[in-house]
Chain A
Amino acid sequence: MIISVASGKGGTGKTTVSTNLAISLDTDVRFLDCDVEEPNAHLFLQPIIDDVETVTTPVPVVDEDKCNLCGKCGEICQFKAIVVIGETVLPFQELCHSCGGCMEVCPEKAITETGRKLGIVERGHRNGLEFVHGKLRVGEAMSPPLIRKVRSFQHPDRLTIIDAPPGTSCPVIAAMKGADFVLMVTEPTPFGLHDLKLAVGAVQILGIPCGLVINSSDIGDDRVKVYAEQENIPILMEIPFDRKIAEAYSRGELLVEVMPEWKERFAALYQRIEEIAG
């Protein structure tokens, strides 16, 4: 089973929920931190890293001796990543989406591929938990290919928990698509509710069952609950506001380690997810 933990709004507690869920279970979990722009789960899980891999995406290089400046590469490229200007052809590798069109279309076979570094994927473990995360190179714009690389380590027969990035656009889709269940983490504020609705919209497009965790549940209003009821989204857990929890989080401590009574609650959360997602 693959559970993706998402939220729409950032800072609602995705990492708190995904990491604590992962270490509260008796089964061995594969944990994938897909928030490659700002991965945080390792700060809490403290895995031992066994392997580091550089991830690249193919981008064009042009052999100017072979190029006859026909301009077909510039015509096919939808991303303005390669253009012929006067007597030169200029690839803009940072704009390239790696579709391979220019290489395919070049009648002179003047275009070959080189790699643009997207970032790294680190793999490690913490006891029985297998850990994978991606770190986008600072300055790199495209996160989805790196997220897909992290996703390639999901295990079909094993419980995989994914920490998704915030938002509702392509990186989030890359982190949710193909999951068996999406666990939404929200806060009972107008911001939390507004972005939750967007995230639920995305989950519905993908056709994945979802449930809700309400964080700082006693601090806002009940509009999130009213919405969840209307939309038939089960509320699977509520985490009340507690300065002790916030302080432990600030130090990078896991909730279940500071307040062990939460371990059972996270185990129960998983059971309910299993019941729903089958």
Chain B
Amino acid sequence: MKRLFGVFVNGLIIENPLFIIMIGLCSSMAVTTTVANGIGMGVALTFVLVMSELIISLFRNLIPESIRMPIFLIVIAAFTTIMDLEMQAYFPVLSKSMGVFIPLVVVNCIVMGRVEAFSSKQPVADSVVDGLGMGIGYTWVLIALAVVRELLGNGTLLGFQIMPASFSPMIFFILPPGGFLVFSLWMAASNNLRRKLLAGKKPEPTQDSCCTLPENGSAEKA
């Protein structure tokens, strides 16, 4: 139980997918102009992540090593399609405002990275808990970004007017540069908290292999 709890908490700050492993960045800034979009994307990604990790973990001993990537991709694409159709059916407005970022969950490195690094080697329970932890770690960052951007950029939260009428919205925060700025400041805050949490302990390396070259990449090039 304690071990599962450790796996769960890991995704929140210590190995937060967005701030530390730095994967799945695209959707995090694009959809966070409003809090509702942020929550929607967070839930959608968590669904795909947990289901893919569950399935891959169940079949981890049957999947041949050499063709594991295509198999992972197809499993993830299947769940993304399910999620996409569900969203179109039940939340058409949300689905429309997130646009291309829903199908892009397929290549969201969080899903691919966790499936490859975690659930293809770990038992089912751990994988599901890891999926939940990573999903919630992703969702809280989206909500944190969206709260700042919607409040300052539009004066509202979840569509309700929060700021007094005299407040003139700073459109900058809704626009792309505002997204980069807010993300950068949140990341600095979270990384400093992590440094304090890990004070004295040496953090494990958390580089992923899906967006950067492996260490021996440059040697291979020469």
Say whether A associates with B.
no
